Amino acid sequence: MNGLPYMCLILYLISIIHTACQETSQKRLPNVLFIAVDDLRPELGIYDMEQMVTANFDRLAAKSVTFERAYCQQAVCAPSRNSILTGLRPDALGIYDLSTFFRKKVPEVVTLPQHFKRQGYHTERMGKLYHTGHGNQDDTLSWSKFDFAHSTLLRALPKITRGDTLGLESDFPTLYGKKLPFYCSPEPEAHMTDAMTADHAVERIGKLKDSTFFLAVGFVKPHLPFVAPKKYWDLYDPAAIQIPDTSLPKNMASMALASFGELRKYDNIPAKGPLDEATTRKMIHGYYASVSMIDAQLGKLLDALKENGVEENTIIVLWGDHGYKLGEYASWCKHSNMELDTRVPLFISSPSHAKALKTQSITELVDLYPTLCDLAGVPKPEHLEGQSLVQRLDNPTRNEEDVAISQYPRGPSLGYDRKNQWMGYSIRTERYRYTRWQHYEDPAEVVARELYDHSSSPIATENLASDQECQAQIEALDQQLDAELAKYHLWKP
């Protein structure tokens, strides 16, 4: 009888300890803020682009490791995003176009947000994460909540007419029935698609602050058209904008660059040939303004984390889905294996890892899936083709053995028929970018090679593939490329 109160006391203490352990465990589960930016090349102040006004990217860098040599797996929206979100490379997915929904190719694959949802996270997206145009679609299996669409908000905005601008609505101006490729918008920032996305994300952070969340926020700008409110245009002096050299690399392979057809659908753009200097300047001005507008939206997200008390328990990853050409090589798009198209900005902020560091280590976006698993302390699925970057977060020392693989299809067919398809596989090493154009079904049939020395500049000036002094280097790179490709799914050596 006398032992009963003591037993009750012991059981009570055990329950308190158990509850405390549960609460501690929950507090140790980090949130994830996963930010995607469309068509963003490393044109940011933190990447030594001194002309850029990007203070909030600087804020993020101050609490992150900034990866200065990160690369996408294919320089176009859908294949790049599919690769990041599934952890599979384009060849494993069998997707190289904008229209194929990845579930048609790999229906059972567990995506990054879907995996976190299975681990008990609330997963939610707003804005563009998966590519949803060109007949493609989002993935409902990835998200716990699936209902935010800024298109509904856009349709509710009043249309306005200014001069000969017809049917202007938010950030999609038209002139004589065609879209403008750049526009200094009179509309309030709140009417911009990306501001709507950021504002909704801020609201959701406030609602989710007491849960464990994986919040994916996708910004559309600086994708064409380059549209931003006037205050962002006013950050830049158009006379100070430098016009890039439009020269093509010497001895460039014929399939190396795509035309800039992405721009041809806009008004005041010539059917072929380079843009004049005045138009080029306006295009670059519009891109810069759009980047600064995204910088402001990033600031809202960083403020929301702090104001809601979750800043110290949130992993932040910000990435661009591919690079972009701003008039270099007389081109305005991505769609190639060139350095400008494949190199992207990448920031990883982890509360338990180093801050305000930069790394020159060569990394790939397919590495993000396993990296986030390690940072969050959740198991990694077996299908992943990337490598965790966690060791780089505390030791950013360059590893000269690191390489990045990118690819892009070309061929006589307008579609993506493998039987008539050439695939360009590109390997980025410490010094070189080497691209081998080969038949998709018969890799031994090589149609062209490219070798660019990037020891001093990201701009390719001369294809050295036919240089006799470089033949030993090309042979070594061929072997290294074969070894890398042999690691991945569906590769047929």
| Structural domains of the chain, ranges and CATH numbers in brackets | 30-151+186-399 (3.40.720.10)
pLDDT at position 395 over 90: no
pLDDT at position 8 over 80: no
Please compute the mean of the pLDDT values over residues 148-165 and round it to a whole number.
51
> Is the Cβ–Cβ distance between 39 and 320 less than 8 Å?
yes
Residue where the block lists tokens 């049917």: 167
Q: In the structure, what pLDDT confidence band is assigned to residue 148 with cuts at 50, 70 and 90?
A: low
- Dig out the tokens for 277 from the structure: 């200097």
pLDDT at position 377 over 60: yes
Helical residues (DSSP H) of 76-124, grouped into ranges: 77-86, 90-93, 102-105, 112-118
Residue 424 half-sphere exposure, CB side, CA atoms within 13 Å?
A: 27
Separation between Cα atoms, residue 487 and residue 268, nearest integer Å: 47
> Is the Cβ–Cβ distance between 170 and 186 less than 8 Å?
no
pLDDT of residue 214: 98
Separation between Cα atoms, residue 185 and residue 201, nearest integer Å: 23
pLDDT digits (tens, 9 = 90+) for 239-284: 999 999 999 999 999 999 976 668 888 887 887 778 899 999 999 9
* Residue 77 is a catalytic residue: yes
> Residue 225's closest CA among 296, 161, 293?
293
Residue where the block lists tokens 């006589």: 412
Separation between Cα atoms, residue 352 and residue 314, nearest integer Å: 10
Q: In the structure, what pLDDT confidence band is assigned to residue 137 with cuts at 50, 70 and 90?
A: confident
Q: What is the residue type of 325?
A: K
C-alpha distances out from residue 348 to 169, 303, 357, Å: 35, 17, 10
pLDDT of residue 2: 55
Catalytic position from the list 77, 184, 373, 470:
77
Instruction: Please enumerate, as own/partner, the contacts of 168-176 that have beta carbons within 8 Å and a separation of 24 or more.
Output: 171/221, 171/225, 171/227, 172/225, 172/227, 173/225, 173/227, 174/267, 175/267, 175/268, 176/267
> Residue 380's closest CA among 116, 11, 144?
116
Separation between Cα atoms, residue 187 and residue 230, nearest integer Å: 9
Q: What's the per-residue H, E or C state across 283-318?
A: HHHHHHHHHHHHHHHHHHHHHHHHHCCCHHHEEEEE
Q: Which of 142-156, 184-198, 308-322 has the lowest mean pLDDT?
A: 142-156
Q: In the structure, what pLDDT confidence band is assigned to residue 191 with cuts at 50, 70 and 90?
A: confident
Q: Which of 206-220, 410-424, 451-465 has the lowest mean pLDDT?
A: 410-424
Is 118 strand, coil or helix? helix
Separation between Cα atoms, residue 27 and residue 164, nearest integer Å: 57
Separation between Cα atoms, residue 485 and residue 405, nearest integer Å: 8
Question: Average pLDDT of the chain?
Answer: 87
Angle at 404 between CA 424 and CA 89, to 5 degrees: 65
Separation between Cα atoms, residue 310 and residue 204, nearest integer Å: 13
Q: In the structure, what pLDDT confidence band is assigned to residue 180 with cuts at 50, 70 and 90?
A: confident
> Is the Cβ–Cβ distance between 216 and 36 less than 8 Å?
yes
Sequence-distant (≥ 6) Cβ neighbours of residue 491 within 8 angstroms? 91, 485
pLDDT of residue 141: 96
- Dig out the tokens for 41 from the structure: 């090349």
Give the DSSP H/E element, type plus range, for residue 215. strand 213-219
Give the DSSP H/E element, type plus range, for residue 213. strand 213-219
Q: In the structure, what pLDDT confidence band is assigned to residue 394 with cuts at 50, 70 and 90?
A: confident
Please compute the mean of the pLDDT values over residues 57-81 and round it to a whole number.
97
Please compute the mean of the pLDDT values over residues 114-134 and round it to a whole number.
94
Please compute the mean of the pLDDT values over residues 453-473 and round it to a whole number.
96
pLDDT digits (tens, 9 = 90+) for 273-319: 788 999 999 999 999 999 999 999 999 999 999 999 999 999 999 99
Q: Which of 4-8, 46-50, 231-235 has the lowest mean pLDDT?
A: 4-8
pLDDT of residue 271: 77
Separation between Cα atoms, residue 365 and residue 320, nearest integer Å: 9
> Is the Cβ–Cβ distance between 421 and 411 less than 8 Å?
yes
Please compute the mean of the pLDDT values over residues 101-111 and round it to a whole number.
96
> Residue 317's closest CA among 52, 84, 133, 119?
84
Residue 349 bridge partners (DSSP): 316
Please compute the mean of the pLDDT values over residues 104-125 and round it to a whole number.
97
pLDDT of residue 300: 98
pLDDT of residue 168: 35
* Residue 8 is a catalytic residue: no
Q: In the structure, what pLDDT confidence band is assigned to residue 165 with cuts at 50, 70 and 90?
A: very low
Q: In the structure, what pLDDT confidence band is assigned to residue 28 with cuts at 50, 70 and 90?
A: low
Please compute the mean of the pLDDT values over residues 360-371 and round it to a whole number.
97
Catalytic position from the list 131, 150, 335, 454:
131
Separation between Cα atoms, residue 30 and residue 367, nearest integer Å: 19
pLDDT digits (tens, 9 = 90+) for 474-487: 999 999 999 999 98
pLDDT at position 385 over 80: yes
Backbone φ and ψ of 217, nearest 5°: -120, 120
> Any idea how long the chain is?
493
pLDDT at position 491 over 80: no
Question: Roughly how many angstroms between the first and final C-alpha of the chain, as a whole number?
Answer: 78
Separation between Cα atoms, residue 286 and residue 290, nearest integer Å: 6
